[in-house]
Amino acid sequence: MKSICDVIIIGAGHNGLTLGAYLARSGLDVVVLERRHEEGGGLCTEELTRPGFLHNVHANYHTFVDMAPPVADLEVRRNGAEYIRPEVQMASIFDDGTALTVHTDLDKTCTSMARFSEADAETFRRLHTEAHGFVDLLLGTLMYQPPMSIKELTRALAAFGVEDRTEFLSVKLRRETINEFLDQHFTHPKIKAHLAFHGAVCGYTNDVAGLAIGFPLLVGKIDNWQLCVGGSHRLAHALWRDLAHHGGTMISDAEVAHISIEDGRAVGVRLATGEEITARMAVASTVAIEQTMLDFVDAGEIPPELRTRVAEKVVHKDWSLFSVHAAMTELPEYSAAEFDPDVNRAWVINLGYASTDELDDDWRLIRKGGLPDPRPNAAVNSLYDPTDAPEGCYTGLLRQFAPFDLDDGGAGRWEGMGRWYGQRCLDAWRRFAPNLTADKFIDWAPFTPLDISRKLVNMVNGDWMMGEISLDNMLDQRPLPELGQYRTPIDRLYLAGSTQHPHGFITFGPGYNALQVIADDLDIEPWWREI
């Protein structure tokens, strides 16, 4: 194993690999250390059920493809990642047999919405058109730059008179929930439910104050949901390949135990095996903030009040995900196809939420540790990517919003509950797709919130966003104001994971933004910012 390099990156998720690949392309000797047996973090694809069935254990939806700068800069396609943008992106199917579909073709989406409300369809058309116009600007301003403060942002929006130029961008959004945004602009409960569901799958809970500010951006990419052919792990492999091609090294089964600090400066790490690796220039961590600041760094190296704040003030998501991974012999045939045949071709499907009130009720229940009656979302990747299952078979994924800590026994209560709750989720699916009888499932495997935190230890408490998405935990406030610009109180120790702005999901943002800060500090010529 290498004993010395320029930069050590802790964690080979997509942010760590992204940062590593950029630095390697800049001529630095980079080592990325990964606790698990493979790179990828949440980009994890495994044969959880039977051989030949490729299940995306965690990240399934890639919505920033061709929007995030690293996709082009690091040539992820040339490095082997192939993407499909399903024609029917998403659907909501309701108990009364009706359905709403979102297409890559805006006209088709509006036609589907118009069956519920012509006025809402027109509003959506305006919102989508406007959002598409400013999505690049928003991405460049909000996502792929170290964050501004909400105050700076508000001031700029006011100075540019943005509120007077668009009905959908307003300074007051910073105080509003997505529900309030939807209530102001839309009328039909099912359309509002679908748009709120879409936000929730992106981690933006519809009843949390302040998240309305991100909603136009979500709509700007509502038709850019893409799936990685052969499984999400292919993206991790492409990033690793770029890293390796430019001289970087990724070491798996390399669990970091300690960050070495000399005279207030990070100079390397010690692995759990006792091996030491020296970093001449910097150490960047992409794992949980608690791991980095409390476990890896000696207590005396940072102010005690910061340790206390990391321990007590870092906010994690208050809901997690329960998944069912299925190996199937038939595609779902939804009863609602009689209403809208396109539901049978929809990639991501909301099974049953018909109003924002129903979503809100489940959030309230989940926050108290209760298990909702399943209304999972379903995705059959094989519809568009037949390589993820043996010929004539299909790979299915159900995701149910769920608590990490159950009210009657905490997270440990998930032990032994996976099959029971998974069966309830499958039953819920069958209500909408009656052909999915038990014999159509060769096998299935549950994956609980507890499983998430065990497999991906940086997703503390099943927190798949590595930090709540809320107004006081976004932009420069994430994960804490004093750690919100990717630097730490320790010289040359950086934070580059999803604990940082913008957040989790396959955004590439935290790694890319940390790169800007590291490049400034290390005097690296930012070739990627060439105008």
Partner 1 sequence: MPDIYTPEWYEAVRDAINARVAQMSGLPDGAWNIAIDIIGDGTSPYVDEGSQRNFVARIENGHCAWYREVGDDGPGVKLDFRFTGPATVFDEIAAGQLDPIDAALRGTIKAKGDMRFLMRQAEHVQVLLSAYTDGVETLWPQGAPPYPGGSK
Measured from the CB of residue 156, what is the shortest distance to partner 1 in angstroms? Answer: 4
What is the full DSSP assignment across 362-400?
HHHHHHTTPPPPP--EEEEGGGT-GGGS-TT-EEEEEEE
Residue 134 or 339: the one with the smaller Cβ distance to partner 1 is 134
Contacts of 311 (CB under 8 A, 6+ apart): 290, 294
Q: Which has the closest alpha carbon to 496: 232, 241, 283, 278?
A: 283
Please, what is the minimum distance in Å from the beta carbon of residue 122 to partner 1? 18
Nearer to partner 1, 150 or 466 (CB): 150
CB of 519 to partner 1, least distance (A): 13
CA distance 416 to 413: 7
Q: How far apart are CA 106 and CA 128, in angstroms?
A: 8
Of 150 and 321, the one with the shorter C-beta distance to partner 1 is 150
What is the SS3 assignment for 173? Answer: helix
Report whether 6 contacts 28 (CB < 8 A).
yes
Q: Tell me the closest approach of the beta carbon of residue 155 to partner 1, in angstroms.
A: 7
The whole-angstrom separation of Cα 228 and Cα 314 is: 32
Which DSSP helix (H) or strand (E) runs through 320? strand 320-328
Which residue, 62, 68, 208, 228, is CA-closest to 136?
Answer: 68
**Dist. CA 387–CA 83, nearest whole Å:** 13
The distance of closest approach from Cβ of residue 531 to partner 1 in the complex, given in angstroms and rounded to an integer, is 4
Q: Residue 298, exposed/middle/buried by CB under 10 A (0-12, 13-18, 19+)?
A: exposed
**Assign residue 210 a region: left if phi > 0, alpha if psi is -120 to 50, beta otherwise?**
left
Least distance between partner 1 and beta carbon 25 (Å): 19
Residue 132: CB minimum distance to partner 1, A? 7
Nearer to partner 1, 150 or 208 (CB): 150
Residue 240 CA to residue 17 CA, distance in Å, equals: 6
Q: What DSSP state is assigned to residue 315? A: P
SS3 15: helix
Residue among 445, 472, 228 at smallest CA distance from 327: 445
Residue with tokens 């964690």: 11
Token look-up 């933004």 returns 513
In this complex, which beta carbon is closest to partner 1, that of residue 136 or of residue 253?
Answer: 136
Closer residue to partner 1 (CB): 153 or 288:
153
Query: Which H or E run includes 179?
Result: helix 178-185
Complex with partner 1: residue 137 or 438, whichever CB lies closer: 137
User: Is 138 or 331 the residue whose CB approaches partner 1 more closely?
Assistant: 138
Taking a C-beta distance cutoff of 8 angstroms, is the pair 162, 172 a contact? no
Question: Are the C-beta atoms of residues 457 and 497 closer than 8 Å to each other?
Answer: no
CB of 142 vs partner 1, minimal distance in Å? 8
Q: Characterize the bridge pairing of strands 441-447 and 45-46.
A: unpaired
Query: What is the nearest approach in angstroms of partner 1 to the Cβ of residue 89?
Result: 20
Q: How far is the CB of 165 from partner 1 (least distance, A)?
A: 6
Nearest to partner 1 of 8, 135 (CB atom):
135
Interhelix angle 14-25/509-522, rounded to 10 degrees, is 40
Structure tokens belonging to residue 309 = 């704040």
481: which 2 tokens? 């104001």
**Shortest Å distance, C-beta 245 to partner 1:** 26
Closest to partner 1 by CB, 162 vs 522, is 162
| Nearer to partner 1 among residue 104 and residue 141 (C-beta) | 141
Site residues, partner 1 (CB under 8 A)? 130, 132-137, 140-141, 145-146, 148, 152-153, 155-156, 159-162, 165-166, 169, 531
Smaller CB separation from partner 1, 2 or 155? 155
- What is the C-alpha to C-alpha distance for residues 154 and 141, in angstroms, rounded to an integer? 13
Minimum distance of partner 1 from residue 66's CB (angstroms): 14
